[in-house]
Structure 1
Amino acid sequence: MKTMTILKYQWKDLIRGKWIIGYALIYLLLTDALIRFGGTGPKAMLSISNIMLLFIPLVSMIYGVLFLYQSREFIELLLAQPLDRKSLFKGLYGGLAIPLTAAFLVGVGVPLIYSGVLVSTDAVSVAIVLGLGALLTLIFTGIGFVFGLRYFDDKVKGLGFSLVSWLLLAVLYDGLILLLVFTLGDYPLEKPVLAISLLNPIDLARILVLLKFDISALMGYTGAVFSRFFGSGLGMSVAAGCLFLWLGLPLWRGNRLFLRKDF
């Protein structure tokens, strides 16, 4: 009950701030443009997933960090009330993660409906792309909270770690793995590369999308190894399970930091 009260207050505050509406409109405009100029069906869903894999982690982490810095006085006020810290952490996290997820789903879902893509495309493919977008939002909002709490007294450090983490996971990761493979090409590296791919939630989401659409040419090295080692069905199950593990770990770590934090 206490958590729901905090959630309702934060949702009203976010709506009054208008930025969450702007976030949804960005997805709406991007999705509409991709459908109009990139085609419909699987091609449209692949284009949307490419934007999603770059944009969602960055925005979710940055907002997660900034939210904690900007809400410091509000958090201190709530801590002075008869509230337990676990309920407060759940309320703060849910008050940001749920609106971000809803903005993504509405922003992408509305163009899919009025353009007819939702009807003409396999429902499972649409559900996987939308579900992965929602899951990545929850994961990276949690990671943003971890950075924000870990470096609560140093805003520059918190934002810096968020940006570097996004750059590493979203942009440099596959390139670093290819460099590793090129350097150690004489050794059997499939299993180590498979293990390394589990350490990147963005890579796991990309693998899930590409296994579903069966586009091996776009998988990259980690995706190709994953597909060869597990196959499509088992590979999707393993990748999905690891993504849910990624969802739990930042929340567990963030909750521990919040319980110990001296505000």
Structure 2
Amino acid sequence: MSESGSECARIALPVVDLLRAPDGPRDRQLLCGEAVEILDQKQGWAHIRATKDGYQGYMPDAALAPAQTNSHWISAPASHAYSAADFKSPDLAALSFGSQVLVSGFEGRFAATDQGYIPRVHLTPMEQQLRDPLSVAMGFLGTPYLWGGNSRFGIDCSGLVQLACLACGIACPGDSGPQERQLGTLLPPGSAYQPGDLLFWKGHVAWVHDPDTLLHANVHAMAVALETLQQAIARIADQGDGPVTAHRRLPQIG
């Protein structure tokens, strides 16, 4: 139980939609092993709060399992869980970057986990974080665009920012609006662009890859893609979504 009296649980499936209401639209997604609080359960649906960012929504009861203390997370862009410690054995699930598992032992190249056997090279201890959010985001280049997506199998602009930040130990909300208010330091208009900076529009966010290029999950490409920075600014304005509303810089990770 949590301090508030709500029940703690974890995500039991590879990726689960977090819905605005039972059978409603997707707002975000949660990944295998992520911790949640169950606020209410009714007619096969759970109203939950995600521990990582406080995001609330609904998902089927069947998507949840009892809470556990995970030991490792998937640090490769994606991985598979196998039925045996053998890459030729049947695969049980595809797991995205950021998924969390409990390792019970090791066998050759594989770790035995609550999801099956996962290649050791794809796993990182929970306490170990990455250091460069932009490099993490670049690992998603080519990932299909998915509104509300949070995984290597489909992601949107704010999902890309959140996954990269959390992997580097930077607290990050799930949506671009709160990200614009909370992430890093707001820079004055006309500031030079540096790799790893974030540019915001109303309803959109993009990484600065270099002073001339953006990296973002966007509908124009329907994927995570690189785009010329000035062309992107002009295109977004031309399509009616307005100018850049904020330029923010994340803290350096020591």
TM-score scaled by structure 2? 0.29
Higher helix share: 1
Higher strand share: 2
TM-score scaled by structure 1? 0.29
